[in-house]
Amino acid sequence: MKLVVDLTRCQGYGQCAYAAPETFRMHGGEALMYDPNPGDEQRDKVVRAVAACPVRAIVADAAADGRARADGWSGRIVIVGASLAGLRAANALRSEGFDGPLTIIGDEPYEPYDRVPLSKQVLTGSVSPMGTVFPFTGGLDAEPVLGHPAVGLDRRNRRVRLANGEQVEYDRLLIATGARAEPWPDAQEAALDGVGTVRGRNDAAQLRERLAAGPGRVLVIGAGFIGSEVASACRDLGLPVTVVERGPTPLAGALGATLGRIAARMQHEAGVDLRCGVAVAALEGDGGGRLRRARLSDGAVLDVDLAVAALGSRRNVEWLEGSGLAAGRWGVTCDAGCRAFDVNGVVTDDVFVAGDVARFPSPVYGYQLLAVEHWGNAIDQAEIAAHNMIAGGPDRWAHLALPVFWSTQFGTQVKSVGVPTCADEVVITQGSVDDRQFVAAYGRHGRMTAAVTFDHGMWLEFYGRLIEQAAPFPPRFAVVDQSPGRSQVLPAQIPRARPAQATVVLTGYQPSDRRAVLVPGG
């Protein structure tokens, strides 16, 4: 059987680990590790775990989907991108009652799989790279066109062109082509044996094989979430690892350097050779094409036989060139109903966008366009896009979910809600930094804009509600494990903070009743 856990919802209580210990395991205080592909003999226990989870975070192929059905439009739907967003949209279309023809086009030859374990359990060897196939693939009654990239879009005639020369007609199209890893910028150096990235199953399988062979030293270039997770997996395996980060601390780009310093401490304590404020200037081979050493911008030379470039990502938009859509480096721009904009900024009514490739307006953050690479966003947006593809005008929903993210590294579950990069100040509100169990609230212009938890994920929803209600910053409420240093508001030290304005609050819980409401005078 197959399962996946929505770790943004998971609060780390461990009921699943109690009900099905062979499948679910707690790592450190709150981080949940699980086997996405447990044997069928585990089915009963897993079903019990699904039922026991208080926040319904576990989706298994045995679990029923209780969504309401919506009547509406019928025609031919084509989804390009057969991964989390594409598959979730297909699933939502069917569970909302869409029974027309549905085609899912993917360039990878595999059944859709989850990328989250690729930088975690797959690298430590506790999950096979082939064992992360999504549970929601069965019974979709969709035509899969796998292993065939889309190379063009003819909007006038409503056709997707495939690399094999075929054309697929649609009445409504969903673009869910995600992103790919930013490669190491020097092509010759990137081609050295031992230099790689982690985005897909093949990358992770190759990296796992090399880690299992016991390299002398691993170099991780970039200490964002993926780089930090790879370093964490190396330390779990007892391997020497150097992390080189151009910025002042790990995670500084996402959380700011103030929290980044806590992440740096985590890395030092785990035995990572962390070098911040330095760049990798060159990767060199041994003459036979194998990676041997790295030269750093401070003059240091490292002997390494494995290098993982964790430099961020590029949106997969090249196939949309000439389509007339507003598609570029930052993704495909769409409205809050997931409808794509054309280059003039006019909204289309037959092309929708979801997941990592989408760039969407966020009312909470002054209607700025956000592009986020978060599992939870791909799910939320895919469900909204699917609904809107078949719903009539007034019944359409808006994608108003706050971005939520988690990362599992060094035995700690780091989670965030909102957009920390829209803040300029941060304050520890609960828990203890020394124990590495705390909540940090972020704010700007007197309004709370985000919260980050380290092993304190149960509070995330509470802070999410405060952010939606434009709660004041610094926070004024009293909480149970209030941090003694709470009154100390610090600069968040976000490298390029985005502006944010308190113009709206969000109301409602379900997508059908979620609304943005303007704050008078906001």
- In contact, 32 and 10? CB cutoff 8 Å: yes
Q: How far is the CB of 198 from ligand FAD (least distance, A)?
A: 5
Q: Where are the alpha helices (DSSP H) in 145-269?
A: 187-190, 201-212, 225-236, 252-255, 257-269
Closer CB to ligand SF4, residue 29 or residue 101?
29
Pairwise CA distance, residues 229 & 243, whole Å: 11
Restricted to residues 339-358, the positions that interact with ligand FAD (CB under 6 A) are 355-356
The minimum distance between CB 98 and ligand FAD, in angstroms, equals: 19
User: Under DSSP, is residue 397 helix (H, G, I), strand (E, B) or coil?
Assistant: coil
**Binding residue for ligand FAD (CB under 6 A) from 136, 319, 438, 463?**
319
Size of the site for ligand FAD (CB under 6 A): 36
Among positions 494-513, residues that touch ligand FAD (CB under 6 A) are none
Judged by beta carbon distances under 5 to 8 A according to partner kind, the member of ligand FAD, ligand SF4, none in contact with residue 176 is ligand FAD
Give the residue with the Cβ less far from ligand SF4, 60 or 168: 60
Work out which of 5, 80, 264, 398 binds ligand FAD, going by CB under 6 A.
80
Burial class (CB in 10 A: 0-12, 13-18, 19+), 434: exposed
Q: Encode 258-283 in three state secondary structure.
A: HHHHHHHHHHHHCCCEEEECCCEEEE
Per CB under 6 A, does 35 bind ligand FAD? no
Judged by beta carbon, residue 83 or residue 103, the one nearer ligand FAD is 83
Name the minimum Å distance from CB 125 to ligand FAD.
Answer: 16
What three-state secondary structure class fits 85? helix
The single residue among 57, 218, 221, 226 that binds ligand FAD, judged by CB under 6 A, is: 226
CB under 6 A: which stretch of 116-124, 234-242, 417-425, 451-459 binds ligand FAD? 116-124
- Contact partner, 440, from ligand SF4, ligand FAD, none, Cβ < 5-8 Å per class: none
The type of residue at 156 is R
Partner whose binding site includes residue 222, from ligand SF4, ligand FAD, none (CB under 5 to 8 Å by kind): none
The tokens describing 453, both together, are 């938890």
Phi, psi dihedral angles at 195 (to 5 degrees): -105, 130
Judged by CB under 6 A, the residue of 108, 182, 193, 461 near ligand FAD is: 108
- 225/180 Cα distance (integer angstroms): 15
**Closer to ligand FAD at the Cβ: 85 or 398?**
85
**Applying CB under 6 A, which residues contact ligand SF4?**
5, 10-16, 24, 32, 52-53, 55, 57-58
**Which residue is it, tokens 């699933």?**
91
Shortest distance, position 185 Cβ to ligand FAD, whole Å: 19
Q: Which does 463 bind (CB under 5 to 8 A by kind): ligand SF4, ligand FAD, none?
A: none
Query: Which of ligand FAD, ligand SF4, none does 221 bind, CB closer than 5 to 8 A by kind?
Result: none
Q: Is 220 in the site for ligand FAD (CB under 6 A)?
A: no
Pick from 443, 447, 455, 454: nearest CA to 497:
443
Contact range with ligand FAD by CB under 6 A, out of 9-17, 71-79, 115-123, 329-337: 115-123
Q: Which is nearer to ligand FAD, 95 or 483 (CB)?
A: 95
**Shortest distance (Å) from residue 503 CB to ligand FAD:** 27
Structure tokens at 315: 């949106």
- Options 33, 198, 266, 470; binder of ligand FAD; rule CB under 6 A: 198
Long-range Cβ contact pairs of 201-205 (< 8 A, separation 24 or more)? 201/108, 201/110, 201/113, 201/118, 201/129, 201/130, 201/132, 202/129, 203/118, 204/118, 204/119, 204/122, 204/123, 204/129, 205/122, 205/129, 205/130
Q: Is 84 in the site for ligand FAD (CB under 6 A)?
A: yes
**In the complex with ligand FAD, which residue's Cβ is closer, 176 or 351?**
176
Residue 378 contacts which entry, ligand SF4, ligand FAD, none (Cβ below 5-8 A, type-dependent):
ligand FAD
Q: What is the dihedral of CA 362, 366, 368, 370, to 10 degrees?
A: -40
- Residue 342's SS3 state is strand
User: Does the CA dihedral 7-10-13-16 come out positive or negative?
Assistant: negative
Residue 17 vs residues 171, 359, 386: alpha-carbon distances, Å: 45, 37, 33
User: Which pair of structure tokens corresponds to residue 383?
Assistant: 């469900």
Which C-beta is closer to ligand FAD: that of 112 or that of 363?
112
Judged on CB neighbours under 10 Å (0-12, 13-18, 19+), 520 is exposed
**Contacting ligand FAD within 403-462 (CB under 6 A):** 405-407
Using CB distances below 5 to 8 A depending on partner kind, what does residue 16 bind out of ligand FAD, ligand SF4, none? ligand SF4
Per CB under 6 A, contacts with ligand FAD among 130-159 are: 149-150
DSSP per residue, 41-74: GGHHHHHHHHHH-TT--EEETTS---PPP-----
Residue 177 binding partner per list ligand SF4, ligand FAD, none, with a CB distance cut-off of 5 to 8 Å that depends on partner kind: ligand FAD
Residues forming a β-bridge with 150: 162
Specify the residue, 42 or 228, whose C-beta has the smaller distance to ligand FAD: 228
Beta carbon nearer to ligand FAD, 85 or 506: 85
Pick from 324, 318, 385: nearest CA to 355: 385
DSSP 227: H
Q: Residues interacting with ligand FAD, by CB under 6 A?
A: 80-86, 105-108, 115-116, 118-119, 149-150, 176-179, 198-199, 226, 316, 319, 355-356, 373-376, 378, 405-407
